[in-house]
Chains A and B, each alone.
Chain A
Amino acid sequence: MADIAGNALKIEKLSKSYGTLKVLDEIDVEVKKGERVALLGPSGCGKTTILKIVAGLTRPDGGNILLEVSKIGFVFQEDRLIPWKTVCGNLEFVSSDTHKVEKVLKLVRLWDYRNFYPLQLSGGMKQRVNLARALLVEPDLLLLDEPFKGLDLEIKAELMNEILRMCRSMSITALLVTHDLREALIFADRIYVLSPAPARVKNVLEIDLPSEHRDFCDTKLLDKEKEVLSQGFWLPFGLPESPLRSK
């Protein structure tokens, strides 16, 4: 059996095709316990497929997934809330422990909205319920599939802070997939840059930004973004225009 010592998740030579379309080509990723890792790649390169394979929703064609965790939380790209259930009902669908439900709803500051239906909530609030549902299972590994997609900057920053706060306070190992470099820089300790489909790991970036600089408008972060961009890596599409890039 392959060695996984120190890692919560080890992905080895992962390959996957959909019919004749090859989406993953021998992907290697390591996530240490308590670490936050981001997979950065363009839309359609197979990032979500990696998460689905890790979560056991899809079978890979080749390679190994070695997991040293028992519980996985998944923050989906779409909120995936049951429309005819209240916020509380959606969480109780996953766990019937009402004390835990109350605890996580207070953590994500949605306790006052517990009897609201998903259609009564804003996009940001729905994503917070999505996050609360993932935290409810007390995950050892949190998978985040572009959770900020479609949110405006203010809500995105608020949700990012929420997620970072949870990950730090609960020492959760997390794997984020995104096409947004800035999101990855704020979130991750390490970034795996993926090529367009079939996805291969092109570069691995170690991010040593202190937590106080992990903010969407922080100058140090923007400098880091500029530094990464100047290294001439393949750049994700749809990167928000940074004031430093236009200099």
Chain B
Amino acid sequence: MVAGISKTADELLKPFMMVVRSMPVVSWLASAILLWGMGWMTPTFIVAVSLFPVVSFNVAEGVRSVDLLLVEMAKVYRVPKKRIIVDIYLGSLVPFVLSAFKVSIGTMWKVAIVAEYLAGNKGIGVELSWAKFYLNTPKVFAYTMLAVLAGLSLEKVFDFLWEVYGKRWRISPEMH
């Protein structure tokens, strides 16, 4: 958000964002295992860190695209700053954040399974790891199928949410 509001902040944050973007997932994974060991924390962190560049880029774009005429209108009517931030700035961000999630949900799911496979203590990734360890091919295929179905369902849930909550931003004119 800060990067979207201030160009200076955007310039200052750019190197950090570039480092985050270019860092290989396995490096994050290794660091997370060293930090938290095996468990749910590591996969969660890996998903968050791989989602961060896409979401932050979209949020910054969203803030930049805020309709300043709406902000001006709010100033004329002396609307409190808190309301301007919540109703105008955050309101403008919703479609950008939703589209960022919509685009990266598939990748996010795959990253989560890899992270579980390497550093989790339960979940599909962990089951796949055990199936490989015991050379249980049917189990590998079964969990792969389950992962694909879960990924598709997750995408469908997001499509549904986008359909319900994104409606206001792209509602079709009916009364012209």
Contact = CB atoms under 8 A, between A and B. Distances in A.
Contact of A85 (B73, B74, B87, B174): B87
Interface in B40-71: 69-70
Interface string A84-97: 11000000011000
Given A74-B76, A93-B79, A120-B171, A82 B87 contact: yes
B132 to A, nearest CB: 48
Given A80-B69, A93-B83, A119-B173, A133 B77 contact: yes
A128 to B, nearest CB: 13
B79 A120 contact: no
Interface in A91-125: 93-94, 116-117, 119-123, 125
Nearest to A84: B168
A12 B175 CA distance: 45
Contact of A83 (B76, B169, B175): B169
Contacts, number: 52
Contacts of B79: 93-94
A55 B174 CA distance: 34
A29 interface: no
A244 interface: no
A165 B175 CA distance: 26
**Chain A contact surface mostly:** loop
B72 interface: yes
Size category of the A interface is 20 to 34
Interface string B94-132: 100000000000000000000000000000000000000
A120 B70 CA distance: 19
Contacts of B75: 57
B87 A120 contact: no
Contacts of B20: none
B73 A74 contact: yes
A72 interface: yes
Given A119-B172, A122-B175, A84 B91 contact: yes
A245 to B, nearest CB: 32
Contacts of A72: 76
A187 interface: no
A82 B77 contact: no
B175 A82 contact: no
A148 interface: no
B82 interface: no
B88 interface: yes
Nearest to B91: A84
A84 B169 contact: yes
Given A85-B87, A94-B79, A80 B73 contact: yes
Nearest to A118: B171
A76 interface: yes
A137 interface: yes
A74 B172 CA distance: 28
15 contacts: A57-B72, A74-B73, A74-B77, A78-B69, A80-B69, A80-B73, A84-B168, A85-B91, A93-B74, A93-B83, A119-B172, A119-B173, A122-B176, A123-B176, A125-B175
Interface of B: 69-70, 72-77, 79, 83, 87-88, 91, 94, 168-169, 171-176
Given A80-B70, A85-B168, 7 more contacts: A55-B76, A56-B76, A72-B76, A74-B76, A116-B175, A117-B168, A119-B172
